[in-house]
Structure 1
Amino acid sequence: MNPEALPIRDIKPLLPIPDLSLYMLVGLVVAGLLVMVAGGIFLWKRWQVNRRRDPRLQWLERLERIDYGDPKKAAYIMTRYGRLLAKEKRQKEIMEQLLPRLERYKYKREVPPLDEETKRFMHLFIEMTHDAL
């Protein structure tokens, strides 16, 4: 028997398989681009807002919110931001007078409460800085 003469049975024609991979790829690329654009817009707006803020105003706000009930933390905060904000001659003079007063509230485990004269110097410096800015 000739194999070429045998009729082939039970072989069906190929079925078309829908190929959506191209559409899925395009959809993922578009979604990725949208996420990147949205993220870029968010970061741009955030940068614009933060760029306009003067860091000296943030430091001054931090000084205005000092908790005088915790003298050690108040001394550290006043020293840190006071040095950054002291630009004018009078502000520098006040900081020079204030720094030795603050030294007794730093570097110790237990510290006494802030005395009134130190508080007055701190308030005076904050008011002068507020007027200067």
Structure 2
Amino acid sequence: MKVQELPIRDIKPLLPIPDISIYLFVGIVAVASLVIGVGVFFFWKWWSTHRRIDPRVRWLRELDAIDFDRPKKAAYLMTKYGRLLAEDKRRQEILEQLIPKLERYKYKKEVPPLDEEVKRFMKLFIEMSHDAL
């Protein structure tokens, strides 16, 4: 057969091929982001419970947050955290002078406002504790 005698066959158009690669890519990125996010969340949760914070810093923060307008609570907090923070001789001496002055603000239903002298001693003790840490 000659080339010219070959029957002409119809050229068919290209068939459409469904392309879902963009959906696969978006799905994989979404799942990877979710896995990384959950991993970071659990790592942060573990880290926040296992990190070592010096308890003295926490006690000092409590003393910094003392409200001098509430004398009963201030006296109790100062006594509690003061005993824990009094590590050197100077702070122990100040605390020994301060605790008897705080006794009049404890164990009663109604207490008078804090004296300026007591406030001064409390602030001095807190300042000295800051300097020691």
TM-score, normalising length: structure 2:
0.67
Query: 1:80 maps to which residue?
Result: 80
Percent identity of paired positions between Structure 1 and Structure 2: 62
Query: 1:62 maps to which residue?
Result: 62
Query: 1:46 maps to which residue?
Result: 48
Query: 1:107 maps to which residue?
Result: 107
Distance 1:74 1:88 in 2: 22
Once the two structures are superposed, residues 90-120 of structure 1 have per-residue CA deviations (whole angstroms, 9 ceiling, x without a partner) of: 0000000000000000000000000000001
Query: 1:123 maps to which residue?
Result: 123
Query: 2:23 maps to which residue?
Result: none
* Per-residue deviation, 1:54: 1.0
SS at match of 1:103: helix
Distance 1:108 1:89 in 2: 31
Query: 1:23 maps to which residue?
Result: none
SS at match of 1:104: helix
Distance 1:42 1:124 in 2: 37
The alignment of Structure 1 onto Structure 2 pairs a total of residues equal to 97
Distance 1:40 1:131 in 2: 36
Distance 1:121 1:39 in 2: 44
Consecutive unaligned residues in structure 1, runs of 5 or more: 1-33
TM-score, normalising length: structure 1:
0.67
Asked if 1:89 is matched to 2:81, the reply is no
* Per-residue deviation, 1:47: 2.6
* Aligned CA-pair RMSD: 1.8
